[in-house]
Structure 1
Amino acid sequence: MASEVRTFSPIVELRRYTLHPGQRDGLITLFDREFVETQEAAGMDVIGQFRDLDAPDEFVWLRGFPDLEARTESLRAFYGGPAWQAHRNAANATMIDSDDVLLLRPAHPETGFLLRHDRPAPGSDAGGLIVATTWHLRPEAEAGFPEVFEAVLAPMLDDAGTPILASFVSEHGENGFPALPVREDARVFVWFSPAPDRAVHERRAAASGLAEALQPHLARLPEVAFLSPTARSRLRG
């Protein structure tokens, strides 16, 4: 049977956790075993879980929601529910900080994640990389930047052979679950691309010639994260 194709999600969290040294694999094992289906049962989409190749003590993951109100309801249900109550102490013991969270929405209605894979079974080899690029925008550039991306920057990436999986902008709606903070001052454009390895992505980036076109729009240097999917990540390279 062919895998289901779904678009995920109108509201997305990009979550980056700083962990105590040596704790990442333990947290991933716990997460993939206990926190995937249980979060989805509470109405969330667990889109992807990753190791950042340049940050051995950081865990990065994505989850999605139908809208902000549903996000509030789902977070209340999950964090008040039995799975989190049973395993929260073990999860929290791995973490130094869990507040680096970007709340995002698709840059255009059709630019969310379109996933063609079933969720892998435990022990699967996900393979490939997901490259997450975060552009920090000047305040005056934020509103019009999605159109700049579509008209100018995306064609440059396409010419360089860089596929774009999804693109997002900051969601400035109210965080209805303040027990989990988000970066409310963020003004970002985040896009995701698959790559077989780092060298291929870096060759594509060098060929794209984006730096000069981007410079007027950015408040600071871009952040590029090379993300290796965990065994049960639905989003894979």
Structure 2
Amino acid sequence: MSIVELRQYTLRPGARDTLIELFEREFVAGQEAVGITLGGRFRDLDDPDRFVWLRAFPDMAHRRRALEAFYSGPVWLAHRDAANAAMTDSDDVLLLRGPGFTPPPGAREVLATVCTPPGPAAAFDAYAARHLTPAHALHRTEPAENDFPRLPVRTGEDVRVWFGPSQAPPWPSRRLRLAPVTTRLFGSGAAGAA
């Protein structure tokens, strides 16, 4: 299990392709060079002004060191103004614990589902164990405090996040009274779908 950031950016109208091109050209190698593992990178199929991506770290200490290295390093400093100019909100970030997720080769559409388990989380986790496979890459909230406050994360939430093909598992369940938010995604980079 890794520490995973699920990052969902709201972009200025028409800026998504520009940001993705910059991200793939500069930020993938720049982050990997400081020990960050990049996962799926996606276009939101229902919102042309959203970019969704994941990155992972072995633990919180590695996360802090890698983020300090990247955000004070030459790649970010050279390209941050262009990246920030494309975004209106980069603070919709969930800090999770899980396996990370990269879509399988040839995958076209991926569903990302975020929900807050009602009642005891153990009941949800048992239900998820019966209905989700390892391919769904189930993640749960990482309870550790964000030790890199320069990049905010959502707090005060206990969520579960999973990924899957365009056909969703049997959610929501009336018994669990889930109110999941499912986003249809299409891979945008080398780690995304072709």
TM-score normalised by L of structure 2: 0.90
Shift >6 Å, 4+ stretches: none
Q: How many residue pairs were aligned?
A: 194
Secondary structure at the counterpart of residue 92 of structure 1: helix
1:72-87 counterparts in 2 under 5 A? 72-87=64-79
**Aligned residue in 1 for 2:21:** 29
**Aligned residue in 1 for 2:154:** 183
CA distance in 1, matches of 2:129, 2:36: 29
1:148 aligns with 2:127: yes
- CA spacing shift, 1:177–1:31, aligned 2, 3 Å: same
Unaligned stretches of 5+ residues in structure 2: none
CA distance in 1, matches of 2:102, 2:43: 19
CA distance in 1, matches of 2:42, 2:171: 28
Which digits, 9 at most, give the CA deviation of each residue in 1:147-200, with x for residues without a partner? 33114x33xxx7xxxx843001101101110000000112111111123xxxxx
- CA spacing shift, 1:89–1:116, aligned 2, 3 Å: closer
Question: Which structure has the larger Rg over C-alpha atoms?
Answer: 1
**Aligned residue in 2 for 1:230:** 188
CA distance in 2, matches of 1:21, 1:87: 20
Shift of 1:213: 3.5
The correspondence for 2:93, drawn from 86, 101, 107, is 101
- CA spacing shift, 1:113–1:142, aligned 2, 3 Å: same
Mapped contact 1:24–1:94 kept (Cα < 8 A): yes
**Aligned residue in 1 for 2:138:** 167
**Aligned residue in 2 for 1:192:** 163
1:213 aligns with 2:151: no
Which digits, 9 at most, give the CA deviation of each residue in 1:203-226, with x for residues without a partner? x55xx36432331xx4xx210011
2:188 aligned partner, one-letter code: T
Shift of 1:146: 2.2
Shift of 1:55: 1.1
1:134 aligns with 2:114: yes
Unaligned stretches of 5+ residues in structure 1: 1-8, 107-111, 119-125, 196-200
Q: Percent identity?
A: 46
CA distance in 2, matches of 1:34, 1:68: 24
Cα RMSD (Å):
2.3
Which digits, 9 at most, give the CA deviation of each residue in 1:87-117, with x for residues without a partner? 00000001111000000012xxxxx247697
CA distance in 1, matches of 2:11, 2:102: 28
CA distance in 1, matches of 2:49, 2:185: 13
- CA spacing shift, 1:236–1:180, aligned 2, 3 Å: same
- CA spacing shift, 1:135–1:34, aligned 2, 3 Å: same
Shift of 1:231: 3.2
CA distance in 2, matches of 1:186, 1:164: 24
Mapped contact 1:164–1:194 kept (Cα < 8 A): no
1:211 aligned partner, one-letter code: S
**Aligned residue in 2 for 1:55:** 47
- CA spacing shift, 1:85–1:51, aligned 2, 3 Å: same
1:8-19 counterparts in 2 under 5 A? 10-19=2-11
Mapped contact 1:102–1:186 kept (Cα < 8 A): no
